[in-house]
A and B are shown apart, each in its own frame.
Chain A
Amino acid sequence: MMSCHSIRPLLPARAEELTLFEARARAEHVATCTRCATEAAAYSRLGQALAAMANLEVEPADGTLEQVLVAIGRRRTAVTTPRVLAAAGASGALLATVVVARAVHHRRQARPARRPARARSGLPSRRLRLPSLPVPTPALARAK
């Protein structure tokens, strides 16, 4: 059996914090040592009292609850407003795009097709093809 000195570090631990070996060694020692048994029981009692602390509540200072409620109210507004604004902005942009597109479309349909500037001024279009003329070359000149 282990000595009091070896068991003492195990006394404050909860059963689930010990290995199987440690738990068995503690139980065997405590069963035969009154002093360590008293210590173990005191730690157990302390553990129960600490667990009971979870049910004790401190009253916060006046105004704490109100501040929390105001803060979460602001947060909810802050979360909601940008979303609403973003949705409204996207809808507006889409509507504006459709209106402009329709206006441009109507305008194009209402006007006759515009002639190119060069055609209106009487100048030949850059796209007119030149007649194929014989290019004077030294070989051609000799043949003539």
Chain B
Amino acid sequence: MEVDRELVEAAQAGDRWALEELVRRTHRGVYTCALRLVGNPDDAADVTQDVYLRVVRKLGGFRHEASFSTWLNRVTTNVAMSTLKRRTRRFAVEGAAVPADTRDPAPEPSERAEAVALARRLELLVAELPEGQRQVLVLRDVYGQSTEEVANAMGLTPGAVKVRLFRARERLKAELEAAEGGQVVALAGRRRATGRRS
């Protein structure tokens, strides 16, 4: 969900059209991130709305030190975590939507295509992880936040984040191997066989 800097600056200057365009371009990414964190579509929609209300309030303070999408992900994380503190989890696994890659897929190496195909299958397995493990994994491994950022967002120590992360990765790999008949290992083995570093 990369966004032009000009569009962000226009929205900051009070251009209503620019703000609405910003929402149109980013709302799927925000909703997806929220869904992965809170675990159910209704709460994810509420989080999405709250995120943009906060964006309207805080956009003037955005200084372009990080990319807009990074900033938006942090806002989404904070709003989602606040929401989770207020609400009890009502997530049913069957409520998790199977993601569709809405971006126009540019020609990409087969390795990247494999990763995307695997990512689609992973989505449901990630949704089935215990909440604490899922949130840590999503923030760290999907959205690339640092261990310290994840710890701050979740009110945990960095050590606790690492423990949850380790368990989540281990469990996910085991479940994926069970679901795919060891495809991850097979892919990795094939990759090693071609002589490339992993």
Contact = CB atoms under 8 A, between A and B. Distances in A.
Contacts, number: 154
Contacts of B97: 58-59
7 contacts: A42-B173, A50-B142, A56-B101, A56-B123, A64-B27, A64-B31, A67-B45
B160 interface: no
Interface in A39-73: 39-61, 64-65, 67-69, 71-72
B19 A72 contact: yes
- Chain A interface bracket (under 10, 10 to 19, 20 to 34, 35 or more): 35 or more
Interface of A: 9, 12-13, 17, 37-61, 64-65, 67-69, 71-72, 75-76, 79
Nearest to B187: A45
B32 A57 contact: yes
A54 B28 CA distance: 11
Given A42-B188, A51-B141, A75-B53, A59 B102 contact: yes
A79 B120 CA distance: 41
Interface residues of B, number: 60
Contact of A71 (B35, B52, B122, B192): B52
Given A9-B166, A42-B184, A68 B27 contact: yes
B23 to A, nearest CB: 6
Contacts of B49: 64, 67-68, 71
The secondary structure that dominates the A interface is helix
B137 A50 contact: yes
Interface string B51-66: 0110111000000000
B176 A61 contact: no
Given A41-B192, A68-B27, A53 B142 contact: yes
A79 B116 CA distance: 42
B45 A61 contact: yes
Nearest to B55: A72
Residue among B27, B41, B191 with most chain A CB within 10 A: B27
Contact of B20 (A47, A67, A69): A69
B184 A46 contact: yes
Nearest to B31: A60
Contacts of B176: 46
A50 B189 contact: no
Contact of B45 (A9, A42, A45, A60): A60
A69 B23 contact: yes
Nearest to A37: B192
Contacts of A79: 56-57
Contacts of B1: 57
B103 A55 contact: yes
B101 A45 contact: no
A70 B100 CA distance: 26
B24 interface: yes
Contact of A45 (B23, B55, B57, B188): B188
A28 B6 CA distance: 49
Interface in B82-117: 97, 99-103, 112, 115-116
Contact of B166 (A12, A52, A54, A67): A12
B101 A55 contact: yes
B118 interface: yes
Contacts of A47: 141
